[in-house]
Protein backbone atom coordinates (compact mmCIF):
# COMPACT_ATOMS: atom_id res chain seq x y z
CA UNK A 1 0.00 0.00 0.00
CA UNK A 2 1.47 3.33 -1.11
CA UNK A 3 1.55 6.03 1.53
CA UNK A 4 -0.15 9.28 0.61
CA UNK A 5 2.23 12.17 1.28
CA UNK A 6 0.95 14.80 3.66
CA UNK A 7 0.28 18.13 1.98
CA UNK A 8 2.27 20.86 3.69
CA UNK A 9 0.21 23.82 4.74
CA UNK A 10 1.28 26.89 2.83
CA UNK A 11 2.22 29.88 4.94
CA UNK A 12 1.20 33.34 3.78
CA UNK A 13 3.17 35.90 5.84
CA UNK A 14 1.41 38.93 7.25
CA UNK A 15 4.44 41.24 7.23
CA UNK A 16 7.87 41.68 5.74
CA UNK A 17 9.08 43.64 8.74
CA UNK A 18 9.20 46.89 6.80
CA UNK A 19 7.63 50.08 8.25
CA UNK A 20 4.43 51.55 6.84
CA UNK A 21 5.41 54.26 4.35
CA UNK A 22 8.79 55.68 3.37
CA UNK A 23 8.69 58.70 5.69
CA UNK A 24 6.47 60.03 8.46
CA UNK A 25 4.78 62.20 5.84
CA UNK A 26 4.01 59.14 3.71
CA UNK A 27 2.63 57.29 6.75
CA UNK A 28 0.42 60.23 7.71
CA UNK A 29 -0.89 60.52 4.16
CA UNK A 30 -1.72 56.81 3.97
CA UNK A 31 -3.46 57.00 7.35
CA UNK A 32 -5.53 60.01 6.26
CA UNK A 33 -6.63 58.37 3.03
CA UNK A 34 -7.64 55.12 4.75
CA UNK A 35 -9.51 56.88 7.56
CA UNK A 36 -11.29 59.30 5.24
CA UNK A 37 -12.39 56.53 2.87
CA UNK A 38 -13.57 54.36 5.77
CA UNK A 39 -15.74 57.25 6.96
CA UNK A 40 -17.01 57.85 3.42
CA UNK A 41 -18.18 54.24 3.18
CA UNK A 42 -19.18 53.70 6.81
CA UNK A 43 -22.84 53.10 5.88
CA UNK A 44 -22.02 50.68 3.03
CA UNK A 45 -21.84 47.10 4.38
CA UNK A 46 -20.39 45.71 1.16
CA UNK A 47 -17.43 48.09 0.73
CA UNK A 48 -14.12 47.29 2.39
CA UNK A 49 -11.38 49.89 2.81
CA UNK A 50 -7.87 48.94 3.86
CA UNK A 51 -4.21 49.38 3.15
CA UNK A 52 -0.65 48.41 3.89
CA UNK A 53 -1.36 44.69 4.05
CA UNK A 54 -0.34 41.79 1.85
CA UNK A 55 -2.62 40.93 -1.04
CA UNK A 56 -1.95 37.37 -2.25
CA UNK A 57 -3.20 36.77 -5.77
CA UNK A 58 -1.90 33.25 -6.59
CA UNK A 59 -3.32 30.44 -4.49
CA UNK A 60 -0.56 28.13 -3.35
CA UNK A 61 2.26 30.56 -4.14
CA UNK A 62 3.17 33.09 -1.41
CA UNK A 63 5.50 34.80 -3.87
CA UNK A 64 2.46 36.11 -5.72
CA UNK A 65 1.95 39.05 -3.40
CA UNK A 66 1.62 42.82 -3.54
CA UNK A 67 1.01 45.38 -0.80
CA UNK A 68 -1.28 48.29 -1.77
CA UNK A 69 -0.86 51.45 0.30
CA UNK A 70 -4.59 52.22 0.17
CA UNK A 71 -7.40 50.27 -1.46
CA UNK A 72 -11.18 50.14 -1.77
CA UNK A 73 -12.97 46.92 -2.68
CA UNK A 74 -16.65 47.01 -3.58
CA UNK A 75 -18.74 43.88 -3.23
CA UNK A 76 -17.10 42.29 -0.17
CA UNK A 77 -18.08 42.67 3.49
CA UNK A 78 -16.43 45.03 5.91
CA UNK A 79 -14.13 43.68 8.58
CA UNK A 80 -10.52 43.70 9.66
CA UNK A 81 -8.22 41.52 7.59
CA UNK A 82 -4.71 40.38 8.44
CA UNK A 83 -4.03 39.50 4.80
CA UNK A 84 -6.07 39.64 1.59
CA UNK A 85 -6.40 36.38 -0.33
CA UNK A 86 -7.85 37.04 -3.75
CA UNK A 87 -9.21 33.49 -4.18
CA UNK A 88 -11.17 33.86 -0.93
CA UNK A 89 -12.40 37.41 -1.41
CA UNK A 90 -13.37 36.62 -5.02
CA UNK A 91 -12.82 40.27 -5.99
CA UNK A 92 -9.72 42.41 -6.55
CA UNK A 93 -9.66 45.95 -5.16
CA UNK A 94 -11.76 48.39 -7.17
CA UNK A 95 -9.33 51.24 -6.50
CA UNK A 96 -5.71 51.38 -5.36
CA UNK A 97 -3.76 54.48 -4.31
CA UNK A 98 0.00 54.31 -3.92
CA UNK A 99 1.70 57.08 -1.92
CA UNK A 100 4.87 56.89 -3.95
CA UNK A 101 8.46 58.11 -3.64
CA UNK A 102 11.67 58.01 -5.63
CA UNK A 103 12.76 54.82 -3.85
CA UNK A 104 9.57 52.98 -4.88
CA UNK A 105 9.15 54.40 -8.39
CA UNK A 106 10.13 51.22 -10.24
CA UNK A 107 7.82 49.06 -8.15
CA UNK A 108 4.90 51.51 -8.30
CA UNK A 109 5.16 52.44 -11.99
CA UNK A 110 6.04 49.02 -13.37
CA UNK A 111 5.57 46.00 -11.13
CA UNK A 112 2.50 47.10 -9.19
CA UNK A 113 0.91 48.78 -12.17
CA UNK A 114 1.25 45.58 -14.21
CA UNK A 115 -0.12 43.42 -11.41
CA UNK A 116 -3.11 45.66 -10.75
CA UNK A 117 -3.86 45.79 -14.47
CA UNK A 118 -3.82 41.97 -14.73
CA UNK A 119 -5.94 41.57 -11.60
CA UNK A 120 -8.59 43.94 -12.92
CA UNK A 121 -8.23 46.86 -10.49
CA UNK A 122 -10.53 49.50 -12.04
CA UNK A 123 -8.47 52.55 -11.10
CA UNK A 124 -4.85 52.93 -10.06
CA UNK A 125 -3.74 56.29 -8.66
CA UNK A 126 -0.27 57.48 -7.66
CA UNK A 127 0.53 60.47 -5.49
CA UNK A 128 4.06 61.75 -4.88
CA UNK A 129 3.71 64.03 -1.80
CA UNK A 130 7.31 65.26 -1.90
CA UNK A 131 7.48 65.66 -5.68
CA UNK A 132 10.41 63.23 -5.79
CA UNK A 133 9.86 62.21 -9.40
CA UNK A 134 6.24 62.38 -10.58
CA UNK A 135 5.26 65.43 -12.61
CA UNK A 136 2.45 66.12 -12.06
CA UNK A 137 2.51 64.70 -8.53
CA UNK A 138 -0.93 63.10 -8.93
CA UNK A 139 -1.47 60.64 -11.76
CA UNK A 140 -4.05 57.99 -12.41
CA UNK A 141 -5.11 55.17 -14.70
CA UNK A 142 -8.42 53.47 -15.44
CA UNK A 143 -9.05 50.09 -17.03
CA UNK A 144 -10.39 50.33 -20.55
CA UNK A 145 -10.71 46.99 -22.38
CA UNK A 146 -8.42 45.40 -19.75
CA UNK A 147 -5.64 47.94 -20.29
CA UNK A 148 -4.81 51.01 -18.23
CA UNK A 149 -5.43 54.36 -19.85
CA UNK A 150 -4.23 57.63 -18.25
CA UNK A 151 -6.81 59.78 -16.50
CA UNK A 152 -7.03 63.45 -17.42
CA UNK A 153 -6.28 66.04 -14.75
CA UNK A 154 -8.24 69.24 -14.22
CA UNK A 155 -6.58 72.65 -14.47
CA UNK A 156 -6.06 72.67 -10.68
CA UNK A 157 -4.16 69.38 -10.82
CA UNK A 158 -7.07 67.36 -9.45
CA UNK A 159 -8.83 64.34 -10.86
CA UNK A 160 -12.20 62.77 -10.17
CA UNK A 161 -12.44 59.06 -9.51
CA UNK A 162 -15.42 57.39 -11.14
CA UNK A 163 -14.90 54.38 -8.89
CA UNK A 164 -15.37 56.17 -5.57
CA UNK A 165 -17.11 59.34 -6.78
CA UNK A 166 -14.64 61.69 -5.09
CA UNK A 167 -12.37 64.47 -6.25
CA UNK A 168 -8.68 64.12 -5.37
CA UNK A 169 -6.78 67.39 -5.06
CA UNK A 170 -3.12 67.89 -4.11
CA UNK A 171 -2.84 70.43 -1.27
CA UNK A 172 0.75 70.99 -0.28
CA UNK A 173 2.11 67.61 0.73
CA UNK A 174 -1.40 66.20 1.14
CA UNK A 175 -3.78 64.54 -1.27
CA UNK A 176 -7.16 65.84 -0.17
CA UNK A 177 -10.36 63.87 -0.83
CA UNK A 178 -13.31 66.13 -1.64
CA UNK A 179 -17.03 65.43 -1.95
CA UNK A 180 -17.85 67.00 -5.35
CA UNK A 181 -21.51 67.42 -4.39
CA UNK A 182 -20.70 69.78 -1.50
CA UNK A 183 -17.13 70.84 -2.21
CA UNK A 184 -16.28 69.87 1.37
CA UNK A 185 -13.09 67.92 2.13
CA UNK A 186 -13.20 64.55 3.87
CA UNK A 187 -11.58 64.86 7.28
CA UNK A 188 -9.15 62.61 9.09
CA UNK A 189 -10.06 61.26 12.53
CA UNK A 190 -7.85 63.90 14.15
CA UNK A 191 -9.43 66.67 12.10
CA UNK A 192 -12.88 65.46 13.17
CA UNK A 193 -11.79 65.52 16.83
CA UNK A 194 -10.32 69.01 16.39
CA UNK A 195 -13.53 70.30 14.77
CA UNK A 196 -15.69 68.80 17.53
CA UNK A 197 -13.45 70.41 20.14
CA UNK A 198 -13.69 73.77 18.39
CA UNK A 199 -17.47 73.50 18.18
CA UNK A 200 -17.69 72.56 21.87
CA UNK A 201 -15.50 75.54 22.78
CA UNK A 202 -17.67 77.84 20.68
CA UNK A 203 -20.82 76.54 22.39
CA UNK A 204 -19.30 77.12 25.83
CA UNK A 205 -18.29 80.64 24.84
CA UNK A 206 -21.80 81.34 23.54
CA UNK A 207 -23.39 79.97 26.73
CA UNK A 208 -21.06 82.07 28.88
CA UNK A 209 -21.94 85.17 26.86
CA UNK A 210 -25.65 84.49 27.34
CA UNK A 211 -25.13 84.17 31.10
CA UNK A 212 -23.16 87.43 31.13
CA UNK A 213 -25.86 89.28 29.20
CA UNK A 214 -28.60 88.01 31.50
CA UNK A 215 -26.64 89.18 34.52
CA UNK A 216 -26.12 92.55 32.89
CA UNK A 217 -29.85 92.86 32.17
CA UNK A 218 -30.69 91.86 35.73
CA UNK A 219 -28.23 94.42 37.09
CA UNK A 220 -29.73 97.20 34.97
CA UNK A 221 -33.21 96.21 36.02
CA UNK A 222 -32.29 96.64 39.66
CA UNK A 223 -30.76 100.07 39.21
Report the CATH number that the domain containing residue 182 is assigned in CATH.
3.90.1570.10
Question: How much of the chain exceeds pLDDT 90, in percent?
Answer: 75
The rounded mean pLDDT for the chain is: 90
Q: What pTM, to 2 d.p., does this model score? A: 0.85
104 with 214, same domain: the answer is: no
73 with 168, same domain: the answer is: yes
Beta bridge partners of 115: none
- Domain with 100 in it: 24-186
Tell me the mean pLDDT in the region 89-104: 96
- Please indicate, yes or no, if residue 215 is contained in any of the structural domains: yes
Q: 46 Cβ partners below 8 Å, 6+ apart?
A: 74, 75, 76, 77, 78
What pLDDT is stored for residue 100 in this prediction? 96
- Please indicate, yes or no, if residue 11 is contained in any of the structural domains: no
* Residue 83 and residue 63 in contact, taking contact as beta carbons nearer than 8 Å: no
33 with 58, same domain: the answer is: yes
Q: 137 Cβ partners below 8 Å, 6+ apart?
A: 127, 128, 129, 131, 157, 170
What is the C-alpha separation between 121 and 143, in angstroms, rounded? 7
Phi, psi of 49, rounded to the nearest 5 degrees = -115, 130
* Residue 179 and residue 186 in contact, taking contact as beta carbons nearer than 8 Å: yes
What is the C-alpha separation between 163 and 116, in angstroms, rounded? 15
Q: What is the pLDDT of residues 52-80, one digit of tens each?
A: 999 999 999 999 999 999 999 999 999 99
Lowest mean pLDDT among 7-11, 27-31, 194-198: 194-198
- Please indicate, yes or no, if residue 6 is contained in any of the structural domains: no
What pLDDT is stored for residue 223 in this prediction? 64
179 with 131, same domain: the answer is: yes
123 with 91, same domain: the answer is: yes
Tell me the mean pLDDT in the region 31-37: 96
What Cα–Cα distance (Å) separates residue 127 from each residue in 31, 75, 132? Answer: 14, 26, 10
What is the C-alpha separation between 49 and 36, in angstroms, rounded? 10
Of 45, 102, 99, the closest CA to residue 75 belongs to 45
174 with 204, same domain: the answer is: no
Residue 6 pLDDT grade (very low, low, confident, very high; cuts 50, 70, 90):
very low
87 with 149, same domain: the answer is: yes
Q: Where are the alpha helices (DSSP H) in the chain?
A: 24-40, 86-89, 105-106, 112-119, 189-222
- Please indicate, yes or no, if residue 7 is contained in any of the structural domains: no
Residue 163 pLDDT grade (very low, low, confident, very high; cuts 50, 70, 90):
very high
165 with 57, same domain: the answer is: yes
Lowest mean pLDDT among 6-10, 20-24, 48-52, 60-64: 6-10
Q: 66 Cβ partners below 8 Å, 6+ apart?
A: 54, 55, 57, 111, 112, 115, 116
What is the number of other CB atoms lying within 10 angstroms of the CB of residue 50? 20
Amino acid sequence: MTAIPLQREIHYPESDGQPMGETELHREEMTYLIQALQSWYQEAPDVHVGGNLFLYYVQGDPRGVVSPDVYVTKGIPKGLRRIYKLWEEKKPPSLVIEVTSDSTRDEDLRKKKGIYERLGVEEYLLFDPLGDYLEPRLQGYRLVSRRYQPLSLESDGSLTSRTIGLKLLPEGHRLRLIDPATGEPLLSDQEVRNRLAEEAAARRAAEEEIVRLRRELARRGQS
